[in-house]
C-alpha cells in the first residue's frame, strides 16, 4: 500500500473522530464540529492528487532495543462468525501482522510478552509502526490487527482488496447529526464496538491457543512462506504476559477487551472509551462503573484532556473519566500541543498534510519518541516486572 493511500485513510479517520466528538457536544458547539467534519471531508476528494512533495522520505524512528526487527503476517478465519458485510455466507477474516526480534531462533522459549494493537476508525494496521518496532526491538512480540470493512484497506484469503464499507463510512459521517438522539448514537456505536471487540478477542484467543499448543488450527491462513517464522515467534511468546493497545476507536477496543483476566496491561492512545458505555437512560449515556482492575495508561491530546476536565467540572458523565476513577491502577497523561494524529506516525512522513489535518504545535519526532518511551516503560513494568511505573501529568 502506498503512503499516499495511507494518508487518504487518515484524512477519513479525522472526519470520523470529529463526528464522534460531536455526539459529546451540545448546541452551537455541536453544529460547529459538524461543519468542521464537512470541511475536513473536502481533502478526501482531492487526496489522490496531493503532490508528492508533501510526502517525506520516512524511514522510521531509531529503536532503542538490542534486536533488529522482523515482520510476518497471516489471516485468521473465525468460523463462528459469518461476515456481516458480505452476502455469500463467508466467515469473518481478521488479518494479523507480526513484529518480533529478527534473531527469534536464539530467543528463549516463552520469554517475550505479547502486545496486540487495534487501529482507529478507517485506520490501518501500520498506523503506529514506530511503536511496534520500538517494542519488538526491546523483546516483545507485537501483533497489529486489521478490522476489515472498518479499516481503509486490507486483503482477504483470496487476495482480494477489502476497502472500508461505504455504509459504515456514511453512518460515521452522520452519527454527529443533531437530529440523532443519544439512544440512536449508542445503538450505532455499540455495534461498532461489538464487531471490534469480537475481532480482538478472537485474535487473542487464537494466538494463545497456537502459542500454548505449538500448532496452528484451521483458523490460520498463510498467503506466503511465513508459517515457520510465525511459529518461532509464538514459541517464544509468554501468554501469561499480555498487553493491549490501540489508537482512537482502537483504544476504546483495547480498554474494554482489557477487562479480560488474562490481560496484564492496556494503553489507550487518545481514544474515547465508547466500549464502556452500556446503555442510555433519559437520553443520557450510562457508563460501566465496575472497577477496572487491569493496569491502564491513557494518552490524551491537549484538547481531549481539556474536554475531560470540562466534563468533570460540569458534571457530565464521560466514559474516560468514569473508567479512570474506577481504575485500581490507572494512569493518564497528555502531550502539550499535541493533536489526535500526533499519536500516530503520520506527521513523520507527511508533515504538511498532518499539520493541516490534526498535528499540533509539537516537535513530531520528539513527540512520538516520548510516547514510545513511555509505552515501553509501561509495558516493561507490567509485563516484564521491571521497576515501578510513573508518568507525569503532562509532557
Residue pLDDT, tens place only, 113-138: 999 999 998 888 999 999 999 999 99
Average pLDDT over the chain reads 87
Q: Tens digits of per-residue pLDDT, 37-69?
A: 444 444 443 443 344 445 566 778 999 999 999
State the cell numbers at 166: 461505504
The CATH architecture annotation of domain 3-384 reads: 3-Layer(aba) Sandwich (3.40)
Predicted TM-score (pTM) of this structure: 0.88
Q: Which of 93-107, 316-330, 353-367 has the lowest mean pLDDT?
A: 353-367
Rounded CA separation 304/133 (Å): 27
Q: Tens digits of per-residue pLDDT, 184-193?
A: 999 999 999 9
pLDDT for res 346: 84
Q: Which residues pair with 243 in a beta bridge?
A: 115, 265
Closest CA to 109 of 241, 236, 239: 236
218 pLDDT band (50/70/90 cuts)? very high
Cα 120 to the chain's mean position, in Å? 5
95 pLDDT band (50/70/90 cuts)? very high
* Angle between helices 227-235 and 182-213 in degrees, nearest 10: 90
Rounded CA separation 233/102 (Å): 9
Amino acid at each position: 500500500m502506498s503512503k499516499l493511500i495511507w494518508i487518504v485513510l487518515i484524512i477519513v479517520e479525522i472526519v470520523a473522530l470529529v463526528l464522534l466528538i460531536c455526539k459529546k457536544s451540545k448546541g452551537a458547539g455541536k453544529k460547529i464540529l459538524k461543519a468542521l467534519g464537512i470541511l475536513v471531508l473536502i481533502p478526501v476528494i482531492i487526496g489522490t492528487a496531493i503532490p508528492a512533495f508533501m510526502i517525506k522520505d520516512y524511514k522510521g524512528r531509531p529503536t532503542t532495543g538490542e534486536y533488529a526487527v522482523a515482520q510476518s503476517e497471516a489471516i485468521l478465519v473465525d468460523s463462528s462468525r459469518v461476515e456481516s458485510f458480505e452476502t455469500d455466507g463467508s466467515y469473518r477474516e481478521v488479518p494479523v501482522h507480526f513484529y518480533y526480534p529478527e534473531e527469534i531462533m536464539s530467543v528463549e522459549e516463552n520469554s517475550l510478552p505479547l502486545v496486540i494493537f487495534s487501529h482507529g476508525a478507517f485506520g490501518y494496521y501500520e498506523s503506529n509502526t514506530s511503536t511496534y518496532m520500538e517494542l519488538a526491538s526491546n523483546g516483545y512480540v507485537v501483533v497489529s490487527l486489521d478490522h476489515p470493512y472498518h479499516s481503509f484497506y486490507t486483503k482477504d484469503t483470496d487476495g482480494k482488496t477489502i476497502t472500508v464499507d461505504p455504509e459504515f463510512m456514511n453512518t460515521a459521517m452522520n452519527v454527529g447529526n443533531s437530529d440523532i438522539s443519544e439512544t440512536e448514537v449508542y445503538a450505532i456505536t455499540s455495534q461498532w464496538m461489538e464487531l471490534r471487540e469480537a475481532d480482538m478477542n478472537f485474535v487473542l484467543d487464537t494466538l494463545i491457543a497456537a502459542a500454548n499448543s505449538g500448532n496452528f488450527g484451521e483458523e490460520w491462513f498463510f498467503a506466503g512462506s511465513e508459517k515457520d517464522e510465525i511459529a518461532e515467534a509464538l514459541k517464544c511468546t509468554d501468554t501469561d504476559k499480555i498487553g493491549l493497545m490501540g489508537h482512537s476507536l482502537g483504544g476504546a477496543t483495547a480498554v474494554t477487551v482489557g477487562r479480560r483476566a488474562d490481560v496484564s496491561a492496556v494503553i489507550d492512545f487518545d481514544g474515547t472509551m465508547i466500549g464502556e458505555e452500556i446503555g442510555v437512560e433519559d437520553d443520557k449515556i450510562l457508563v460501566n462503573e465496575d472497577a477496572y482492575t487491569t493496569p491502564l495508561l491513557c494518552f490524551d491530546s491537549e484538547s481531549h484532556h481539556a474536554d475531560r476536565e470540562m466534563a468533570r467540572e460540569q458534571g457530565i458523565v464521560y466514559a474516560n473519566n468514569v473508567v479512570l476513577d474506577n481504575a485500581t491502577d490507572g494512569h493518564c497523561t497528555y502531550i502539550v500541543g499535541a493533536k489526535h494524529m500526533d499519536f500516530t506516525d503520520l506527521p513523520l512522513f507527511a508533515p504538511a498534510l498532518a499539520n493541516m489535518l490534526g498535528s499540533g504545535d509539537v516537535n513530531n519526532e520528539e513527540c512520538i519518541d516520548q510516547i514510545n518511551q513511555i509505552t515501553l516503560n509501561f509495558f516493561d513494568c507490567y509485563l516484564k516486572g521491571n521497576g515501578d511505573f510513573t508518568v507525569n501529568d503532562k509532557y
